[in-house]
Structure formats: structure tokens, C-alpha cells
A and B are shown apart, each in its own frame.
Chain A
Amino acid sequence: MDGITTAETDSWKLSGRVFHSRLIVGTGKYRDLEQTAAAIEASGAEIVTVAVRRVNLSDASAPMLQDYVDPKRYTYLPNTAGCHTAKDAVRTLRLAREAGGWNLVKLEVLGPPPHLYPDMVATLEAAEALLADGFEVMVYCADDPVAAKRLEAMGCCAIMPLGAPIGSGLGIQNPAMLRMLIEQAEVPLLVDAGVGTASDAAIAMELGCTAVLLNSAIAHSPNPVLMARAMKQAVEAGRLAHLAGRMPRRMGADPSSPLAGLIR
């Protein structure tokens, strides 16, 4: 396998579409829409998550996300953030489908603060309703191999376990569980939530994730545009390291310079 060719032609598929970037970024928590656009550009992402909310009727002419993040250039992935029941999640994504015309969605049904942990009972119920309604469902979930397999069997097009709680920036707390989920997955497996800095994204990719989804790690950095670049490179580096394969660990040193030919 030619390493350079592999890196340049590396791509992944999601519901029939081919993507080259393995970084999906959120569009929330930025200072303003200009900063949102600049950070997304720097991240190299091809897919962005978006939320569905009421229009501010007192100022309907205010600039909208679409004016800064062009839906023709980026694949919008509407989410169900803030939904705590299957019914709310389904209602929200039906509105998203009408607003944008997209079937590809990110389902997340969360339990209460402070953990906002995936509510898997409600998630399974919502996934069933959405799949029956023709949606292509990327699903945020616990790092639970039984639930993940069930979601995959139901027809979800991507399984997206957390690495740590949403917005926590705690990094990949569960590498062993993620590795097990990756090994059993037959659809794209993404880490969604928990990444805090570039090395976390690289770890996720080295483990063998298809891609990484993150928002706060870029948006809450003091310099979001620079962190977006860092994340782009970290995801690429982690992916290449995964493809290349790591050296075996050994207990003890192994000199890198030859011992032969030493002066005496």
C-alpha cells in the first residue's frame, strides 16, 4: 500500500455520499456568525451540525446561519439538542427536514443535567420512529455495545458514542469500550462529545473511529480558528497513524542507533 496515495484518496461514505474530511463540527457557542464561519472554514469539515429553534419574531430580518455557513457547500446535519423525549426529537427533525429538505439527521435524546447522558430507552424509541419516517439517522449514544448493535440493526447509518459528557472537554475516557464498539461496527462509528483538545481527536482516530464530531473544543478555545486548524491536522494525523499501525510496545529500551561500528 502506497502511503501517500492512501492518505490522499482516503474517504468514507455516509448514506451513499462520499466525504474526505473525517471531522464533523458543531456550529454552536461561537462569539458570532463571522467567527462560526471562519472556524468551520479552518476545520476543513464538510458536515456541520445545526440546531432547530424558533425564529425570533421581533427581529426576523436578523442574519441567519445559512447566510454565513452555506448549506450548498456544507452538509447540514440537524440535531435534536434540547429534546428529552422521543416525541420532541421526532417533531424537531420533521421540522428540520421541511426547513432544509435533508433526511440525514443527528439524533440525540438526553437525560437530565449535570450529565446529559444519552437516554438510551428514549433514543431507541426515537430512532425507530425516525427510521420508519424515512430519516437517515446518525445516533448519539452511550458506549454500550448492546445498544450500539441494536441501533445498527435497526438501520441507523452511523453510531456515535460519547468519549466523555457533552461539552466537558474531558477527552477520551473510554478507549477500551470505543475500541470494542469499533471492532463490532459495520457502519461508520464516530466519537461524538468529550474531545477537549487536538490530542483527544487524534486518540479517537488512532483507535479506529471513522470520524470525530466536536463543537466546544473549538468554540470554547480562546482562539477558535487556530484550534479548528489544530483539530483538522489532529484528525488527519490520527487517521494516518491508524492506517500506518503503531509499533509494538515493549518493556524496556531498544536503541535506535546501531551498536556496530562504535569507536573504541
Chain B
Amino acid sequence: MTETIHLNGDPHPFIPGQTVADLLAALAIDANKIAVERNEAIVPRSLLAITRLAPGDALEIVHFIGGG
């Protein structure tokens, strides 16, 4: 069975060596418009490219939407 991470609540394939920046690129997400939390800790934008994912990581990728 392949290992997974949790991405916005859903299982997602874990790719060995993949960084958070790699994942965002694979998902076609503009890193300048979002924020990433990994296991309930913020991943600063400056560290996206050097933060490697581990099996079982829980990631939240959020952005701004309309709200009151």
C-alpha cells in the first residue's frame, strides 16, 4: 500500500523527497496567494522549497475568499 499525506483533509499520495514547493507546483497553486500549515505549524514562505514532506503529514493550504 502506498504511503499518503493528508491534504486539506483528504488523502494524497506521498512522493519521497517532495518539498512543499514541489507539491504546490504540481497542484498549479501560486505560492504567493496562499499559506501552508503542516501538522498545525505554519510553513513560512521562505521555507517552502526546503521543507520536505513526510508520510502522514497533515497539510492545510488556504487562501482568502469573500467573507464578512
Q: Residue of A at shortest CB range from B61?
A: A55
Total contacting residues, chain B, CB less than 8 A: 25
How many angstroms between the C-alpha atoms of A96 and B35 in the bound complex?
7
Is residue A66 contacting chain B, with contact meaning CB distance below 8 A?
Answer: yes
B68–A52 CB distance below 8 A: no
A81–B67 CB distance below 8 A: yes
Contact of A51 among B28, B37, B44, B65 (CB under 8 A): B65
User: Which secondary structure dominates chain A's binding surface?
Assistant: mixed
By a CB distance below 8 angstroms, the chain A residues around B37 are: 91, 94-95
Min CB distance, A158 to chain B, in Å?
16
By a CB distance below 8 angstroms, the chain B residues around A55 are: 8, 29, 34, 61-63
Chain B 8-33 near chain A by CB (<8 Å), digits 1 or 0: 11100000000000000001110001
Min CB distance, A113 to chain B, in Å?
15
Q: Residue of A at shortest CB range from B7?
A: A57
How many angstroms between the C-alpha atoms of A118 and B25 in the bound complex?
40
B67–A26 CB distance below 8 A: yes
Q: When A94-B42, A95-B35 are in contact, do A57 and B8 touch as well, CB less than 8 Å?
A: yes
Q: When A30-B66, A95-B42 are in contact, do A54 and B35 touch as well, CB less than 8 Å?
A: no
Name B's A-contacting residues (CB within 8 A): 7-10, 27-29, 33-37, 40, 42, 44-45, 60-68
